[in-house]
Amino acid sequence: MNVMASPFNIAVTGMNSRPDNPGPGMAVARCLREARGFDGRIIGLGYEALDPGLHLPRYSDAGYLLPYPSSGDDAFLERVQLIHEREGIDALIPCLDAELPSVTRLADQLDSMGIATFLPSSDQLALRNKDRLEELADHAGIACPETKSVTHEEFFYNSGREGWHYPFVVKGIFYDAEVVKTPEQGAAAFARISAQWGLPVLVQRFLKGEEVNLTAVGDGRGRLLGAVMMRKLALTDKGKAWAGVTITDDTFLAASAALVAATRWKGPLEVEVMREPDGTYQLIEINPRFPAWVYLTVGSGRNLLEVLLKLMSNQEPEDPGPAPAGLIYIRYAEDMVIPLAEYESVVMNGWRLQ
Amino acid sequence: MIDAVIEEQSLLPDAKTLERLAISESGFVFDPVSGHSFTLNETGLEILRTLQKNRHLGALLEQLSVEYDVDRSTLDRDLLEFLGSLRDQLLRP
């Protein structure tokens, strides 16, 4: 299959754009629109009728609702089958963490339907479980913050006895994190996070450094391609980047390359590390998808969607090397206007009016 | 003397860090590894450029004392203050 040949239809998920925590889908679609050699259609997939990427022709030629991942693999596959019959999907790019386990499990079935993916294996995905952070950090050759599983709120009142002094971070097993400074805050975070994400809840040492991120594509054979590194310059209330600047950090790049080489990571990824004032690097996590700031890769001359499309086409993309430092991106929000009938179509049918 | 004190306190940025800094005529300074930027006035810019070429405090003090009409103790104090703030900029978060 040659995904660079046109016409070619690519489905992209995560087409929401909530300013405080945007999904990567619209940025991925924007990169696709600007990818050299790609002249196909983009099928935007989302979970809410108000996801803007479902309605915006600039980024999607069609828009469809998906069932939430919690609905299970069968519901997801059934929906994709319907969209495939209507649109003829050639490739699927999942952009949300919660979708990855399901899409990875279904990769063979999708392939038999003629829908290509380029994703990490289930084993590779399992490596990013929060309780395997140390193993992942070993692959990268850097440290990681000490983490402990907690199942009772009493821990937060007696943590000092176990060597855990405030502040530290309380994390959900799958998602969510909160810095707590007192036993009361700790117990409250434990109650909130365990109610939403279940047990155990994780506590992690608080790091004083600053976070830097890298995005790239792993070719599945150990190569890290098109790395772009970034430090956040401005954050939303949820701690997501609102502005950032490219950096060239050889230590971080080498750690990420080592991680990809050791795991033979396949597909897009985002590596998050904390750089401490003494120069120590602590691995925070890796995300098995492009980040919402992926358009910075276009701005720095390394459109990662071009790299991904070539890999999907069994071509050998050249590694353009790390991006230059000093390119700044600034996110912004803008309004769009759609007729009621279009909104009605998405609510009632699950797809945008054609 | 001040240079001995400063050396001892490691207030000077290391040579590798100084070398990589992108310094603009306007006084805008960018560190491509950390991603931090900050601004300097004309004097600060001159000091940083001098340090980039020659990381030697004695020579810097000599140069500044010739260029500026200021007594040595004031110069020492101001330079210490500047180097402290430069270090903070380069080592933050």
Per CB-CB distance under 8 Å, the chain A contacts of B34 are 210, 231, 247, 275
Average pLDDT over residues A164-182: 89
Task: Give the residue among A113, A104, A321, A319 at the shortest CA–CA distance from A221.
Answer: A319
Nearest chain B CA: its distance from A239 CA (Å): 16
Where are chain B's structural domains?
A: 2-91
Average pLDDT over residues A211-225: 97
Write down the pLDDT at residue B34: 93
* Closest Cβ opposite residue B93 in set A210, A246, A325: A210
A161-165, A175-179, A291-295, B9-13: range with lowest mean pLDDT: B9-13
∠ CA A112-A114-A119, rounded to 5°:
80
Q: Which residue has better confidence, A196 or A307?
A: A307
Separation CA A257–CA A253 (nearest Å):
6
Average pLDDT of chain A to the nearest whole number: 93
Task: Give the residue among A135, A145, A97 at the shortest CA–CA distance from A273.
Answer: A145
Q: Name the token pair of A44.
A: 């935007």
Nearest CA in chain B to A210: B93
Residue B7: which pLDDT band, with cuts at 50, 70 and 90?
Answer: low
Average pLDDT over residues B63-72: 92
* pLDDT above 90 (res B89): no
What does pTM read for this prediction?
Answer: 0.89
Average pLDDT over residues A283-310: 96
Separation CA A314–CA A293 (nearest Å):
26
E strand or H helix that includes residue B74: helix B72-91
* pLDDT above 70 (res B1): no
Write down the pLDDT at residue A179: 92
A63-67, A172-176, A213-217, A232-236: range with lowest mean pLDDT: A172-176
Per CB-CB distance under 8 Å, the chain A contacts of B93 are 208-210, 277
3-class DSSP state of A95: coil
Nearest chain B CA: its distance from A211 CA (Å): 10
The CATH architecture that domain B2-91 belongs to is: Orthogonal Bundle (1.10)
Residues in CB range of A272: below 8 A, 6 or more apart:
A211, A212, A213, A283, A284, A285, A286, A287
Average pLDDT over residues B43-59: 90
Residue A93 contacts residue A13 (beta carbons within 8 Å): yes
B interface test, pick of A213, A247, A248, A327 with most B CB neighbours within 10 Å: A247
Average pLDDT over residues A215-231: 97
For chain A, which residues lie within 8 Å of any Cβ of chain B, measuring from their own Cβ? 208-210, 212, 230-231, 233, 244-250, 275, 277, 325-326
- Which B-chain residues 23-62 have CB contacts (< 8 A) with chain A? 30, 32-37
| pLDDT tens per residue across span A230-272 | 999 998 887 888 999 999 999 999 999 999 999 999 999 999 9
* pLDDT above 90 (res A131): no
Separation CA A29–CA B53 (nearest Å):
47
Average pLDDT over residues A85-90: 96
